[in-house]
Structure 1
Amino acid sequence: MWWGTGAVALVAGVLIAVVTAPVGVSGAVFLLPVQLSVLGVPSPAVTPTNLLYNVVAGPGALARHRRTGRLAGPLTRRLVLGTLPGVVLGAVIRVFAVPGPQVFRLLVAVFLLPLGVWLCVRTVRPRVRPAPAGAPRGESEDVLPSDASITVLAAGVGVVGGIYGIGGGSILGPILAGRGVPMALVAPAALASTFVTSVVGASTYAVLALTTGGDIAPAWGSGLLCGLGGLIGGYLGARLQPRLPEVALRLLLGVMAITVACLYVVQSLP
């Protein structure tokens, strides 16, 4: 890889992670145009390269959240508890019957677009549920949905991650925020779930690459350099998150959901 291309990969990882980490999104989906148009990653290898990016970049933001004590909360445990079996099941489904990626992208776009718009509208016209007296800002747990509903949601996203190789933060984040969970809880939990899903997914693709033809192995140079940038940017973004108002974070997450939906629609066009 030429040093100029490597620098682009590194800078792209930093910039994307700084913006997306505060709302619990790894940002891998926003690397797609850079990978395809600038870094020259072949289309089949984009998915495992995104997972590799998540694996390398994830510890940056997670380390920062761990220092603040927000990583070990009940929401994180519930999401990971659902994600782990979900991603394994998704990998099994991938072997036998997998809908085409265009169908998947359109379904996600149809889901995320109205969700992002609704989240933005609800943020502009808030319906605030006050936290109990003495609870720190954004850390009240009384707004969390039930254990079962969160675990089932995470399992479903894990299945999608196992089939299509996405982390899931861009789906989990808007759903949880839309249900009233504070962003201070959403961000670390969604990033932890994305990291776990990506580790399992990337390992699966690495094994498949040994026995299957085609460009399904990650583009290691691009993935590692983008991931290194994401490692730095994720830490900075997680450090920035407590300094941003809840309204700004929810609007940012809503706009990201809309943007991801639009990107998926464009990718699904002939």
Structure 2
Amino acid sequence: MDFLRYVFPVSGVETWLWLPPLAAFAISFFTSMVGVSGAFLLLPFQMSVLHYTTPSVSATNLVFNLVAIPSGVYRYMSDGRMNWPLLWAITVGTLPGVVIGYYVRVWWLPDPAAFKIFAGCVLLYLAWRLLPGFLPGWRNLQTADASVPPRDAVVRTLSVTPARVTFRFGAETHAFNLPAMLVLAFLVGIVGGVYGIGGGAIIAPFCIAFFRLPVHAIAGATLAATFLTSIAGVAFYNFLPAPPGLATHPDWLLGVLFGVGGALGMYAGARLQRYVPHTALKALLGALVALLAVHYLLASVTSNG
């Protein structure tokens, strides 16, 4: 079995060839259900398990997004669950943030221990807002949130104005403030650019916790926005200047291996999402956010120790 063990020349990672796609499949299957790409948890996996810690790990994570996300997006589009106004709002807002995030990553935070403390605290707060046991008025909302939307429920845009976007999902009408969404997308784009998880990768928890949008109606849009901003992110890490001697180019082979497993996982997750109650999806996202927050906080303590 030694022939399945490989040293990736760009990153220097040595591992079994089956491990990256297997890990990506397992992670992406669950994260795609809540509109988050597998990169959300693959970055800690690469840094902690594969010991890939240079800034180019962020670029490799973005390559994973390019390969893995289209299958999940296709599934959401086929099911009529693509929220187009939300997709373009997130994309327009996050692209400038991703540019800033790149420069922050390679010039100021090549070893981002301090930033991990901040990110960990933000993510813990989001987890507190998302986990069902902590939601205000949870007992009153439990019955409604526990339902599964009709299997034929689709997203229909009702109106788009400079101030507000209104859409219908199933029998319910939802809306969000467009300027607020753009500002939020810009801020999370910076974070996504720093960590290589795509501009839209961490906006799903905010859409659910603060804008009160249903996860079934936003997951496709947040995944698609992550894909579009990841294209820009890979280009930035490939072509924009970096400090001398700092590796920023992605490991394409490793990223593609992750992406193959992620593509299968995302398609399966997007396909099965419609059968899972909103409450369960919200709890899953909260647990994933809490897990990542704890990882970042522990990593910052370890690196400072």
TM-score for the superposition, normalised by structure 2: 0.77
Once residues 174 and 228 of structure 2 are traced to their aligned partners in structure 1, the CA distance between those partners, rounded to angstroms, is 24
The answer to whether the Cα contact below 8 Å between 1:86 and 1:155 also exists between their aligned partners in 2 is yes
CA 1:40–1:100 in 2, change beyond 3 Å: closer, same or farther? closer
- Which residue of 2 is the match for residue 66 of structure 1? 77
Once residues 31 and 92 of structure 1 are traced to their aligned partners in structure 2, the CA distance between those partners, rounded to angstroms, is 22
- Tell me which moved more, 153-162 or 180-189: 153-162
- Amino acid of the structure 2 residue aligned with 1:215: A
CA 1:209–1:55 in 2, change beyond 3 Å: closer, same or farther? farther
Q: How many Å apart are 1:84 and its aligned residue?
A: 2.3
The answer to whether the Cα contact below 8 Å between 2:199 and 2:230 also exists between their aligned partners in 1 is no
- Which residue of 2 is the match for residue 264 of structure 1? 296
Once residues 94 and 46 of structure 1 are traced to their aligned partners in structure 2, the CA distance between those partners, rounded to angstroms, is 11
SS at 1:41's partner residue? coil
Q: How many Å apart are 1:52 and its aligned residue?
A: 1.0
- Which residue of 2 is the match for residue 44 of structure 1? 55
- Which residue of 2 is the match for residue 193 of structure 1? 225
- Which residue of 2 is the match for residue 111 of structure 1? 122
Whether 1:22 and 2:23 are equivalent positions in the alignment is: no
Q: How many Å apart are 1:170 and its aligned residue?
A: 4.8
- Which residue of 2 is the match for residue 184 of structure 1? 216
- Which residue of 1 is the match for residue 280 of structure 2? 248
- Which residue of 2 is the match for residue 3 of structure 1? 4
- Tell me which moved more, 76-85 or 155-164: 155-164
Which structure is higher in RCO with an 8 Å CA cutoff and minimum separation 6? Answer: 1
- Amino acid of the structure 2 residue aligned with 1:21: S
Higher gyration radius (CA): 2
- Which residue of 2 is the match for residue 122 of structure 1? 135
Once residues 44 and 2 of structure 1 are traced to their aligned partners in structure 2, the CA distance between those partners, rounded to angstroms, is 29
Once residues 247 and 117 of structure 1 are traced to their aligned partners in structure 2, the CA distance between those partners, rounded to angstroms, is 14
Identity in percent: 38
The answer to whether the Cα contact below 8 Å between 2:55 and 2:110 also exists between their aligned partners in 1 is no
- CA deviation string 1:60-112 (max 9, x = no partner): 11111111122243222211121223323444666776696122211111111
- Tell me which moved more, 6-15 or 35-44: 35-44
Once residues 203 and 101 of structure 1 are traced to their aligned partners in structure 2, the CA distance between those partners, rounded to angstroms, is 21
- Which residue of 1 is the match for residue 184 of structure 2? 153
Once residues 272 and 116 of structure 2 are traced to their aligned partners in structure 1, the CA distance between those partners, rounded to angstroms, is 31
- Amino acid of the structure 2 residue aligned with 1:6: L
- Amino acid of the structure 1 residue aligned with 2:265: G
Once residues 111 and 142 of structure 1 are traced to their aligned partners in structure 2, the CA distance between those partners, rounded to angstroms, is 29
Once residues 95 and 47 of structure 1 are traced to their aligned partners in structure 2, the CA distance between those partners, rounded to angstroms, is 10
Gaps of 5+ in 1: none
SS at 1:143's partner residue? strand
- Tell me which moved more, 64-73 or 12-21: 64-73
- CA deviation string 1:143-165 (max 9, x = no partner): 33211111111122123333443
SS at 1:145's partner residue? strand
- Which residue of 1 is the match for residue 158 of structure 2? none
- Amino acid of the structure 1 residue aligned with 2:128: V
Gaps of 5+ in 2: 6-15, 156-168
Once residues 9 and 209 of structure 1 are traced to their aligned partners in structure 2, the CA distance between those partners, rounded to angstroms, is 29
Whether 1:237 and 2:269 are equivalent positions in the alignment is: yes
CA 1:94–1:226 in 2, change beyond 3 Å: closer, same or farther? closer
The answer to whether the Cα contact below 8 Å between 1:75 and 1:185 also exists between their aligned partners in 2 is no
- Which residue of 1 is the match for residue 65 of structure 2? 54
- Amino acid of the structure 1 residue aligned with 2:189: G
CA 1:22–1:7 in 2, change beyond 3 Å: closer, same or farther? same
CA 1:208–1:126 in 2, change beyond 3 Å: closer, same or farther? farther
CA 1:251–1:94 in 2, change beyond 3 Å: closer, same or farther? closer
Compare the two structures and name the one with the higher helix fraction: 1
The answer to whether the Cα contact below 8 Å between 1:24 and 1:187 also exists between their aligned partners in 2 is yes
